[in-house]
Amino acid sequence: MDFHAIKEGELLKQLKTEKQGLTDEEAAKRLKKYGLNELRKIRRLNAFKIFIRQFTSFLIIILIIAAVISFIAGERTDSFIIILIVFINSLFGFHQEYKAERAIENLKNMLVPKAKVIRKGKVQEINASELVPGDILILEEGDNITADCRILQSNSLQVNEASLTGESVPEGKSPSVLKLNTMLADRTNMLYQGTEIVKGNGSAVVVDTGMKTEFGKIAEMVQKIQSEGNPLKERIDSFARNLGIIILGLIAIVTILGISLGFETLIMFETAVSLAVSAIPEGLPAVITISLALATQRMLKVRSLVRKLPAAETLGRTTYILTDKTGTLTEEKMAVRKIFVDNKITDKFTKNKSTELLFKAGILSSNARIEYGKEDYVIGDPTEKALVLAAHEYGLNKKEETEKYPRIKEFPFSSERKMMSIVRSSKGNLISYVKGAPEIIVQRCNAELINGKVKKLTDKRKRELKIKYGDLASQGMRVLGFAYKTITRRSKEITEEIAERNLIFIGFQGMIDPPRKEVKQAIRDCNDAGIRVIMITGDSALTGKAVGEEIGLTGRVIEASQLKKMPDSELSNALKTVSIFARVSPQDKLRIVEVLRKNKEIVAVTGDGVNDAPALKRADIGIAVGRGTDVAKDSSDMILLDNNFASIVKAVREGRRIYDNIKKFIKYMLSANTNELLLIMFVILAFKNPMLLPLLPLQILWINLITDSFPAIAISREEAEEDVMKRSPAKESLIKGTISFTIAAGVFAFLICLLAFYYALGGDISNIARARTMAVTTSVLFQMFLVFNCRTKQPFYKFRLNRYVIYAIATSMALHMAVIYSRLNKFFEFTLLGINEWMIMTGLCVIAFGLLEIVKLEIK
């Protein structure tokens, strides 16, 4: 119901209550009818389902099948290793997903347990969970609001609604009736659960409790939203599905060919299984996990805490970043940026009488103060803090000024008067220092201070001053007017009328939450990287536009009222040009995310409040800011510890590095494993001799073990390419751009292994063990060179050296030589190789390496 648009009498009548409150009996009846004032779960968390879901990835299914086949074929060590990889990977995924689903618990914990109500005309304290519609709440400074209410009485009431609306400045509240179509953020006669009173006191009637509150509606929305599939998981599944089909087809061809040509059925079956295990990238989950884990450590150094590992890579392929304004793009503190004094608007605060009096009036009409110590800090209302800091920077000391001009009386701010004044003693007289809404202050003045002289203020001049105020407001600034008045001691009693009439106008102070210094460059970096940044704020369009212009967001500005009238198709097109959405609701933000996702965009969303939780959960990557609510953090994939947008851009770079390294591993793995399949197929068809199988099953698995493990992990430690932030986000498949290289590498490897095999065989079947040893060793040696081909798109010698690659190659070659030159060689059916053989194999690999470098640069 639109409680903000109903007169007080009608409101109380509809709620069947009165200002003396409900009786205990009536409250008990309503508690039964409406239920407890708490959030309930509409979707239960099922740990078993979450665990089972970890095994639905196509890659995981293929690995499980490979493990079963290996076990049947007697390769139990390989079977055990594959199953272990699958189990660890699934446990990790379960832990992350289960933790993410607990967001709703923090929604419940945010409720304050006690509330002060009037029951039967008496004030009493009750559990907040027992509040019912119709209860009369007593409100005081510092109280957290525990239900949605309509204000009945307000004494300078101001409320911080940032967690719900995103509005950066405390909202003044009053009982006045509002228009029916007033936006939630502008409903100044309403109080909402989860917000906080920062100033004043009053009373209000409860209109909604529990899940019916705005807070509860968001809680329900968060629970209904299903966590979206991760783009990285979808890419890996697609890659695994296609690869699995190709591999199974080729293996079937090899097996049928071998058997039809007289090769022993069991041998061909074991060979096929070995080729399948070799070709299937069982190391991919481990490489991805290691890459992501290392990246999260690096991201932590740039103040970004990753809660869900895949988010680290997803951020690198983000195409849209929807960011809130306050605290992320801005410093989250109001600051005076411009003033109007001596008939001119300026941001240069020069030393003169009028400017000094303007800043002096700012601190002497405010209650905020600076605590001086090792680190100075300001206490008070955000607006007043800005005034005190501006005066402090100008050279005025708040403490000294208040001691020089002692306070006599204060007439506090109220939303009805839109002004406040403090009367102070000064050299035998009294001076009233007044601040407030510019139009109100100007109207109360009959004179103006210009260049140190007091001049009469005409109606024409008042209209001119209001235009000047409009000029400042149009720049998105929060503007206050300042005036003063000398009161003679003859006044027996200082009244509001005496203190605030016939004033002398001093000037205006325009303040804004200033952008962070590094954000402008960060926005520019996003543009270079093909990422569109859109500001979504609860503040006004003017404020959003002013901040946007300073940081480089210069596209269209749309307010929520316009947004609601747009069909999804129109919004979809608008998102290509809009840079700022203002006055948005949680539903608006969620809708924007959903429209972008329908357009196949990868969407990152930042937020800190309860209002941001639904969008954070639906986005491809939700980024909560460190100062935000627990609800936002638990709905997110990543937490921005320093609240700074620039840290997101640094994290994007890490994400792109991860994606590149995963592609490098896949490129390496496909290039390396194609060779074995081609070699076996060619020898079977060319020689048609069952005794000349070039690679035995165990030898294939050995190649796979020492070439796909250490070098692959080393690739995950590669540095980012130089152009990583100068190209558009990757939308292609994981193998796009690698197919030509992979085919070339497979063919080159096949040819040199065949040459080594043929050379060692020498036309004598009795040399088969030596031929196989040379074929295996050539394959291993080639893959050590291949690592350098795959490390970078640049010529290998131009890229920074990765010491982990050197360690990996040294380890792999040491293991292989240990097997050849020890008694283990009998187990693998290897023979000893001499210096001549090593020179031939090395020469062949160097030639293949050089040719691959040329191919790589040609297809770059």
Q: Which residues are catalytic?
A: 324
| DSSP one-letter code for 641 | T
d(CA 665, CA 671): 10
Between strands 445-450 and 453-456, the pairing is antiparallel
Helix (H, G, I), strand (E, B) or coil at 251: helix
Q: Which of 212, 113, 218, 209 is nearest to 165 (CA)?
A: 218
Q: Are 362 and 390 in contact (CB under 8 A)?
A: yes
Could you tell me how many residues make up the chain?
860
* Residue 712, amino acid: A
d(CA 173, CA 203): 11
* Residue 400, amino acid: E
Q: In sequence order, what are the residues at sequence separation of 6 or more whose Cβ sits closer than 8 angstroms to the Cβ of residue 396?
A: 356, 359, 360, 363
- Show the beta-strand stretches assigned E in 545-584: 556-559, 578-582
DSSP secondary structure of 352-366: SHHHHHHHHHHHHT-
| DSSP one-letter code for 633 | H
Residue-wise burial string across 28-65, b where 16 or more C-beta atoms lie within 10 A, e elsewhere: eebbeebeebbbeeeeeeeeeebbeebeebbbbbbbee
Whether the CA torsion 541, 542, 543, 546 is positive or negative: it is: positive
- Joined tokens for residue 373: 């110590």
Q: Are 240 and 288 in contact (CB under 8 A)?
A: no
Helix (H, G, I), strand (E, B) or coil at 115: strand
What's the longest Cα–Cα distance across the chain?
Answer: 127
Q: Are 364 and 204 in contact (CB under 8 A)?
A: no
* Four-CA torsion 104, 109, 112, 114, nearest 10 degrees: 110
User: Nearest 5°: phi and psi at 719?
Assistant: -70, 165
User: Quick one: 236 exposed, middle or buried, by C-beta within 10 A (0-12, 13-18, 19+)?
Assistant: buried
d(CA 270, CA 264): 10
- Joined tokens for residue 517: 């210094």
How many Cβ atoms are within 10 Å of 110's Cβ, its own excluded? 18
Q: In sequence order, what are the residues at sequence separation of 6 or more whose Cβ sits closer than 8 angstroms to the Cβ of residue 137?
A: 115, 116, 117, 131, 146, 147, 149, 203, 204, 205, 206
How far CA 400 is from CA of 230, 233, 391, 475, in Å, comes to 59, 63, 12, 33
- Between CA 24 and CA 306, with CA 214 as vertex, the angle to 5 degrees is 125
User: Nearest 5°: phi and psi at 281?
Assistant: -80, 70
Q: In sequence order, what are the residues at sequence separation of 6 or more whose Cβ sits closer than 8 angstroms to the Cβ of residue 623?
A: 604, 605, 606, 607, 616, 636, 637, 638, 639, 640, 648
User: Quick one: 631 exposed, middle or buried, by C-beta within 10 A (0-12, 13-18, 19+)?
Assistant: buried
- Joined tokens for residue 201: 């006191």
User: Quick one: 731 exposed, middle or buried, by C-beta within 10 A (0-12, 13-18, 19+)?
Assistant: middle
